[in-house]
């Protein structure tokens, strides 16, 4: 694969172990150049608010092509992030704007519907992550 | 038995019945209110006459009340409605008003008669019940999520272990093995908190005279290892030394607050401390402040910090969002209050506990 096609992923999850699992499983596909973590919606949003600066500080990571977003997090949860991210997209030029994939332990239909209403949310993955789920995801985004 | 004529009987009944009664004519205007009504509103019959009684209606209920009354009147139908009516002491009370059309001897429509009772206590109980039910629904929802999350983490670690075995990546495999204890520990702590919460609902012994320094010494003792390892100084300034309240709840309040202070110490600070100060206020209530110079939390969370399952910090291992909710529940049960005085630089909680009599 051409290294240019490798994608970077931002995983927004407060659980260090969840990040550890997801990072390692995603790495095994050899499709991603960089996999990094924000511990809640607030931290992730901050990266996009300071878009230019984030591009400079993290030249190989930012902007990510994909965001894996947990729902239940302290400070700013997944839904609060989606709202804030949506309004940021209307006021600020974020290009290319990353695709968001929900990544949660909630299999509530309500949560799924609520998340999929956002045009940039493309999928809803239920934890735990497995190599099979990741392969499907890779096919979908490529 | 003393004989009374028909009118006297009616008068005795109307003035002594435990309900408020009104009568309106065909013109919709009220021309009679019994004694209990006049006693309740503290107004005269002249004042209530016609539409005068509507002056006592709560402004927010006025439109609904007149709509129901006038619509029923036009259709000659019975009605039932609830509204707030000002009592003689100025307090608005919830009233259940039931009105029926009445007809004279020749079956001709003659107006309306109605009776009212004060249902404020019932309305308040219903409100509290609905609130409790809402809280319970939310609790179940959040709880089921928080119970399943660590299980999903364990399953994730198992998935990763299988992958590591397949790829012969023994380092990752051993990391998975190491990490598996943490979600299990979290699940155990959460279940423990749920049990504590269940106790908070039914624990009620008699109030006792409590020695504050003994209780604090106990709590300090149970945190002694963490205090020592993390070099946290435990300071007490006990101007007030005794309080009469419920032992179990009181201890739980202090235990949870102090546990938080111990858990959320600031590793960047060289001198770390937790301070508990007590005094009495002018009403002889016990005022306790629990302060620390730990990591604190953003001021914007001050309102939400006591909410069920709210967590201000990302290190999920440290808290499940039930500690301060539990504290608040205990404080309320013993008639006290709690607030955050400061959450940055120093974190300061102030609790006021009434001194009960035994």
**pLDDT, tens digit, 9 for 90 and up, residues B40-49:** 999 999 999 9
Measured torsion, CA atoms of residues B248, B253, B256, B258, in degrees rounded to the nearest 10? -110
Contact B152 A28 (CB under 8 A): no
Q: Which of these three, B53, B87, B118, is where a domain ends?
A: B118
Are both B225 and B334 inside the same structural domain?
A: yes
Find the CATH number of the domain harbouring B22: 3.30.450.20
Contact A28 B153 (CB under 8 A): no
Q: Which of these three, B55, B87, B118, is where a domain ends?
A: B118
Least confident of A128-132, B150-154, B194-198: B194-198
Are both B211 and B343 inside the same structural domain?
A: yes
Closest residue, chain B, to A126 (C-alpha): B152
Judged against a pLDDT cut of 70, whether residue B270 lies above it is answered with yes
Q: How confident is the model at residue B309 (pLDDT cuts 50, 70, 90)?
A: confident
CA B113 to chain centre: 40
Find the CATH number of the domain harbouring B340: 3.30.565.10
| Strand ranges inside B87-162, DSSP E | 92-103, 109-118
CA distance A73 to A13: 7
Q: Is B172 on the interface with A (CB under 8 A)?
A: yes
Q: How confident is the model at residue B316 (pLDDT cuts 50, 70, 90)?
A: very low
Task: Please tell me the predicted confidence (pLDDT) of residue A2.
Answer: 45
Judged against a pLDDT cut of 80, whether residue B218 lies above it is answered with yes
Mean pLDDT value across residues A82-111: 87
Q: How confident is the model at residue B131 (pLDDT cuts 50, 70, 90)?
A: confident
Task: Please tell me the predicted confidence (pLDDT) of residue A97.
Answer: 79
Domain that holds residue B313: 205-353
Contact A106 B160 (CB under 8 A): no
Contact A15 B316 (CB under 8 A): yes
Higher pLDDT, A106 or A37: A37
Judged against a pLDDT cut of 90, whether residue B114 lies above it is answered with yes
Percentage of the residues of chain B whose pLDDT score is greater than 70: 95
Q: How many residues does chain A have?
A: 142
By the 8 A CB rule, do B176 and A18 touch?
no
Judged against a pLDDT cut of 70, whether residue A5 lies above it is answered with no
Judged against a pLDDT cut of 60, whether residue B17 lies above it is answered with yes
Contact A131 B175 (CB under 8 A): no
By the 8 A CB rule, do A20 and B179 touch?
yes
CATH superfamily of domain region A3-141: Response regulator (3.40.50.2300)
Q: How confident is the model at residue A1 (pLDDT cuts 50, 70, 90)?
A: very low
Closest partner CB to A25 (pick from B148, B155, B163): B163
Closest partner CB to A75 (pick from B158, B172, B314): B314
Question: Of all residues in chain A, what percent are helix, strand and coil, respectively (each to 5)?
Answer: 45, 20, 35
Q: Which residues of B touch A21 (CB under 8 A)?
A: 153, 156-157, 159-160
Q: How many interface pairs between A and B have CB atoms less than 8 angstroms apart?
A: 67
Contact A28 B167 (CB under 8 A): yes
Q: Which residues of A touch B316 (CB under 8 A)?
A: 14-15, 74
Per-residue burial over B9-33, b if 16 or more Cβ lie within 10 Å, else e, is: eeeeebeeeeebbbbbeeeeebebb
Q: How confident is the model at residue B151 (pLDDT cuts 50, 70, 90)?
A: very high
Task: Please tell me the predicted confidence (pLDDT) of residue B42.
Answer: 97
Q: How confident is the model at residue B146 (pLDDT cuts 50, 70, 90)?
A: confident
CA distance, residue A84 to nearest chain B CA (Å)? 17
Which residues make Cβ contacts (< 8 Å) with residue A108, sequence separation at least 6? none
Judged against a pLDDT cut of 60, whether residue B1 lies above it is answered with no
Q: Which residues of A touch B311 (CB under 8 A)?
A: 74
Least confident of A38-52, B167-181, B198-212: B198-212
CA distance, residue B109 to nearest chain A CA (Å)? 55
Are both B337 and B215 inside the same structural domain?
A: yes
Assigned token pair, B28? 């919709």
Judged against a pLDDT cut of 60, whether residue B318 lies above it is answered with no
Residues on A contacting B at a C-beta cutoff of 8 Å: 14-15, 17-18, 20-22, 24-25, 28, 39-40, 72-75, 105-106, 127-131
Between CA B60 and CA B72, with CA B66 as vertex, the angle to 5 degrees is 140
Interface test with B, best of A15, A125, A129 (most B CBs within 10 A): A15
Q: Which of these three, B103, B118, B133, is where a domain ends?
A: B118
Contact A40 B314 (CB under 8 A): yes
Domain contains B11: yes
Judged against a pLDDT cut of 60, whether residue B182 lies above it is answered with yes
**pLDDT, tens digit, 9 for 90 and up, residues A45-86:** 999 998 888 888 888 888 898 999 999 887 788 999 999 999
Contact A15 B145 (CB under 8 A): no
Contact A21 B316 (CB under 8 A): no
Domain contains B157: no
User: Helix, strand or coil for residue B327?
Assistant: helix
Are both B215 and B329 inside the same structural domain?
A: yes
By the 8 A CB rule, do B193 and B323 touch?
yes
| Count: domains in chain B | 2
Residue written as tokens 């511990």?
A39
Q: Which residues of B touch A28 (CB under 8 A)?
A: 163, 167
Domain residue spans of chain A: 3-141
Which residues make Cβ contacts (< 8 Å) with residue B175, sequence separation at least 6? A20
By the 8 A CB rule, do B64 and B57 touch?
no
Are both B242 and B348 inside the same structural domain?
A: yes
CA distance B284 to B242: 11
Judged against a pLDDT cut of 80, whether residue A36 lies above it is answered with yes
């Amino acid at each position: 694969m051409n290294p240019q096609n490798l994608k970077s992923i931002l995983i927004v999850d407060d659980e260090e172990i969840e990040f550890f699992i997801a990072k390692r499983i995603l790495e095994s596909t050899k499709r991603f150049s960089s996999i990094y973590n924000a511990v809640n919606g607030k931290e992730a949003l901050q990266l996009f608010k300071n878009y230019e600066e984030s591009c400079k500080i993290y030249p190989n990571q930012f902007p990510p092509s994909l965001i894996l977003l947990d729902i239940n997090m302290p400070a700013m949860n997944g839904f609060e992030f989606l709202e804030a991210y949506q309004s940021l997209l209307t006021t600020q030029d974020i290009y290319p704007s990353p695709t968001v994939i929900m990544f949660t332990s909630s299999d509530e239909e309500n949560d799924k519907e609520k998340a999929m209403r956002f045009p940039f949310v493309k999928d809803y993955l239920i934890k735990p992550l497995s190599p099979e789920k990741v392969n499907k995801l890779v096919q979908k985004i490529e | 038995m003393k004989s009374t004529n028909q009118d006297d009987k009616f008068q005795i009944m109307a003035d002594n019945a435990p309900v408020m009664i009104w009568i309106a004519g065909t013109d919709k205007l009220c021309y009679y209110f019994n004694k209990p009504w006049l006693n309740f509103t503290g107004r005269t019959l002249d004042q209530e006459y016609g539409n005068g009684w509507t002056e006592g209606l709560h402004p927010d209920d006025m439109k609904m009340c007149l709509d129901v009354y006038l619509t029923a009147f036009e259709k000659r139908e019975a009605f039932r409605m609830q509204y707030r009516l000002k009592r003689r002491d100025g307090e608005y009370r919830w009233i259940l008003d039931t009105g029926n059309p009445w007809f004279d001897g020749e079956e001709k429509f003659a107006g309306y008669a109605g009776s009212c009772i004060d249902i404020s206590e019932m309305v308040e109980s219903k409100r509290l019940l609905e609130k409790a039910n809402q809280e319970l629904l939310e609790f179940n929802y959040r709880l089921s999520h928080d119970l399943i999350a660590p299980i999903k983490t364990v399953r994730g670690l198992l998935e990763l272990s299988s992958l590591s075995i397949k790829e012969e990546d023994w380092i990752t495999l051993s990391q998975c093995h190491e990490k598996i204890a943490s979600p299990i520990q979290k699940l155990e702590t959460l279940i423990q908190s749920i049990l504590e919460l269940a106790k908070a609902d039914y624990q009620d012994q008699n109030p006792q005279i409590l020695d504050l320094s003994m209780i604090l010494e106990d709590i300090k003792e149970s945190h002694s290892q963490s205090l020592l390892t993390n070099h946290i100084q435990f300071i007490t300034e006990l101007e007030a030394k005794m309080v009469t309240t419920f032992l179990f709840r009181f201890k739980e309040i202090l235990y949870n607050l102090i546990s938080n202070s111990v858990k959320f110490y600031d590793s960047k600070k060289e001198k770390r401390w937790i301070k508990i100060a007590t005094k009495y206020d002018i009403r002889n209530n016990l005022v306790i402040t629990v302060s620390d110079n730990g990591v604190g939390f953003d001021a914007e969370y001050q309102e939400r910090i006591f909410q069920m399952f709210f967590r201000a910090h990302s290190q999920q291992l440290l808290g499940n969002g039930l500690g301060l909710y539990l504290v608040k529940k205990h404080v309320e049960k013993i008639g006290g209050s709690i607030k955050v005085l400061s959450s940055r630089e120093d974190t300061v909680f102030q609790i006021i506990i009434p001194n009960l009599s035994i």
